[in-house]
């Protein structure tokens, strides 16, 4: 089986972000599961050292792994990700995992430039990457996985920019599936739940988040998802830490 996992992080000038992409946290968990399932990988992140360390560890699982350093909001980086997937032979799975938090602050204190940046990374970049990836995805009946959040529905005080961007991403996900399933391209949104990650810590500076589970808690869900035919899951929203009802949440 040949496939590509495309993770890339923002350049995060506003700092409050998870730059892990495929190099640590949830990203490396998903990438490792896909490698074990027989996929070759294209992975991306902003930080060179953890990215290349992750690529080396994934190669130990016997797969071809191509790291692409850069910011997913950069069109040139997106083009390189797609080019590398093409060189590996195609694209079965596209995972948009990079997210920008943008800080936690009341609506009345939001900086419009920060909100714009959050939307560029969390909505515009994944949509643009999918647009470029369609020719490869349709050849393989591919699946787009957009990583969302409960903040998309929670209306949590201080989370307006991030929550609104994830709500938009979920709508984009359903639209992608509705428009492209006739071309054998399917899309799902996944809420991974609260986890002990750098991004979650940034959302709660100075607080102890050791009660949150490690990203590996989501592994059973990813193994289940990637065992499904994309057409049977496309258009749905899932919660990766909820094992009842196939992890399915109402859209």
Q: Which residues are catalytic?
A: 162
- And the tokens for 127? 């949509």
Tell how far CA 130 is from the center of its chain: 12
Q: How far apart are CA 5 and CA 18, in angstroms?
A: 18
Neighbouring residues of 228: CB distance < 8 A, sequence distance ≥ 6? none
């Amino acid at each position: 089986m040949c496939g590509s996992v495309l993770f890339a992080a923002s350049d995060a000038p506003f700092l409050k972000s998870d730059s892990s992409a495929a190099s640590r946290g949830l990203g490396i968990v998903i990438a490792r599961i896909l490698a074990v399932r027989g996929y070759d990988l294209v992975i991306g992140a902003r930080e060179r050292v953890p990215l290349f360390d992750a690529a080396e560890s994934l190669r130990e699982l016997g797969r071809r792994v191509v790291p692409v350093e850069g910011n997913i909001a950069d069109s040139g980086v997106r083009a390189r990700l797609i080019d590398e997937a093409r060189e590996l032979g195609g694209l079965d799975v596209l995972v948009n995992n990079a997210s920008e938090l943008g800080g936690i602050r009341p609506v009345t204190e939001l900086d419009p430039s920060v909100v714009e940046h959050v939307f560029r990374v969390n909505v515009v970049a994944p949509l643009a990457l999918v647009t470029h990836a369609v020719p490869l995805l349709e050849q393989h009946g591919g699946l787009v996985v957009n990583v969302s959040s409960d903040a998309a529905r929670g209306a949590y005080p201080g989370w307006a920019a991030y929550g609104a961007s994830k709500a938009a991403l979920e709508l984009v996900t359903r639209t992608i599936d509705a428009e492209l399933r006739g071309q054998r391209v399917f899309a799902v949104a996944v809420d991974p739940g609260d986890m002990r990650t750098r991004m979650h810590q940034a959302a709660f500076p100075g607080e102890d988040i050791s009660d949150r589970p490690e990203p590996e808690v989501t592994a059973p869900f990813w193994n289940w998802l990637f065992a499904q035919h994309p057409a049977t899951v496309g258009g749905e929203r899932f919660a990766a830490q909820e094992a009842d009802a196939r992890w399915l949440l109402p859209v």
